Structure formats: C-alpha cells, structure tokens
Amino acid sequence: IIACDVVNPDHIDATFESIGGLDGVKQSLHELVILPLQRPDLFAHGKLLGPQKGVLLYGPPGTGKTLLAKAIAKESGASFINVKISTLMSKWFGDAQKLVTAVFTLAYKLQPAIIFVDEVDSFLGQRRATEHEAVTNMKTEFMALWDGFTTDQDARVMVLAATNRPWELDEAILRRLPRAFEVGMPNEKERAHILRVILKDENVDPDLDYDKLAALCDNYSGSDLKEICRQAALFPIRDLLEQEKNGGDNSQNLRPLQQSDFEKVMES
C-alpha cells in the first residue's frame, strides 16, 4: 500500500550542499524548520518562537522544491514522509480518510518527521463544486490532525507543502502555512552554481566554463539543467563506442565531459 514514501534521514541523498542557488530560502528554512526540529530546547522558552508547523514552498516546476524538502529532512535528522496525493485521492478513495490518519500517526511515531505534501493545491485547494464527499472528509481530517500537532508544543512534526499554483490555495490552508517561500527560476549566477552541484562527482574537463554555460541556459530550471547534463554525458559514451567500432583500443577510458558536449545538446 503506497500512499506515501517514508525515508529514514540516513537514506536521504539530498543535502543543502546538493542544492544550487536558493541561498536566501535555505537560510530562512534553516532557522524556521531545521533548528526547531534539531534543537527544540532553544524554542521552548516563551511563546514568541513556538515551532513552526507548516511552511509553503511555491514556484515553477523543476526549481527544486522537492529537493529542498528532502534536504531539510536530512539536515534536521528527520524522517521524510512524502504524501502521494494522487494515490491518496484515486486508488484509496474510500479509505483515504484512514490513510490520512495513518500518515499522521506514523509521523508522530517517527518524530522528528517532515510530512511533505507536493501539489498541495490538488489536495487542499479550493473546494470544487463537484467534490466527492470522501474528499471533503479527507481534507477535514487532514486539517484536524494538523491542528492537533500545531497546538502540541512538543511534537516534532512539520508539514512542508509545495505548489506551482499558490493562488489556488484557499484561506483555510494558507492560515496553516503562515510562512511561504518562493522557489523561483534561477538567475545566471544560480544556474552556474546548480551546474557545479550537478556535475560535482562527474568526470568533467577542468576547462569547462560554467559561467558561459549558465549564460547560454537562459530560463532553464534546475531540472532542465540536470536534463542537459544527462544528455551531454552521453557524448563521451558515444565517442568511445565509435572508437571501439573502428577497431580502437578497448582499454580506453571515457573522456571527460567537455564544453562542446553541452553546446551540442543546446543546439539540438
């Protein structure tokens, strides 16, 4: 039964280091989410800084919202519970309410934990006229459980929600997500940073000009940049196969990724 993926922090491969750009957002989230999960003792005094129980990440597709949520869980040593809305809504329609309860029960058990709700607009967005009663019940249940731990000062559970369409969220949900962060398209400098991060462990020509590449990738998201890198990485493989076909030495290694590989991808 997969209505959510649960990942132990030790098995999360994302860290803040693996995210290019988004420096401001990372810093705010460190104070707002990571620190309270790691060091609840610092936030236990007075009422001013009660732990935040919900944060919204919004922005275009492929800009790193999911990556950021995973990295936050990793950095906080929290379990990452990725709620799969589509599964929750369709396959388990009748039982959806029970599943919502199960998600929160699990989060309590595993705490510190982060419940990540991607595409929150499709789940907790404005009520549709044709909405099925089961969906309404599920939403009500989700909100009720969420409120339950919001008032429980000791609960180390946090909801991170993400959306590409923040304007579709209704009042009730926005009230529970008092802090919202834009995860926007990267600028040129951020694109260069993202490329460096993506290619960190690859065999790359030391002369590769990241800044020049970033300048060529106007309007590319982090996810687009990753795709370019994937495609570029095929060129050294093709070259090696070609060499072997032409009777070359089979013991040759793959050559490093070069500037021209990336430029070829972008021209195609």
Instruction: Name the strand (E) or helix (H) holding 124.
Output: helix 120-124
Whether 8 and 185 have beta carbons less than 8 Å apart is answered as no
Q: Which of 3, 4, 7, 22 binds ligand ATP (CB under 6 A)?
A: 22
Give, as one character, the DSSP assignment of residue 54. Answer: E
> What backbone torsions phi and psi does residue 170 show, to the nearest 5 degrees?
-90, 170
Q: In this complex, which beta carbon is closest to ligand ATP, that of residue 96 or of residue 162? A: 162
The smaller minimum CB distance to ligand ATP, of residues 95 and 119, is found at 119
Residue with tokens 């999960």: 37
19 binds ligand ATP (CB under 6 A): yes
**Which one, 226 or 255, has the nearer CB to ligand ATP?**
226
Cα–Cα distance between 113 and 111 in angstroms, integer? 4
Within 13 A of 89's CA, how many CA atoms are on the CB side?
Answer: 15
Tell me if 226 contacts ligand ATP by CB under 6 A. Answer: yes
- Closer CB to ligand ATP, residue 155 or residue 213? 213
Q: Is 66 a binder of ligand ATP (CB under 6 A)?
A: yes
Residue 135 and residue 89: Cα distance in Å, rounded? 7
Q: Which of 36, 51, 62, 112 binds ligand ATP (CB under 6 A)?
A: 62
CA nearest to 261, candidates 229, 221, 219: 229
Is 82 among the residues that bind ligand ATP (CB under 6 A)? no
Pair of tokens at residue 255:
């050559």
In the list 54, 125, 166, 222, the residue contacting ligand ATP (rule: CB under 6 A) is 222
> Candidates 59-67, 201-209, 250-258, 259-267 — which segment interacts with ligand ATP by CB under 6 A?
59-67
Binding site for ligand ATP (CB under 6 A): 19-22, 61-67, 118, 162, 164, 194, 197-198, 222-223, 226
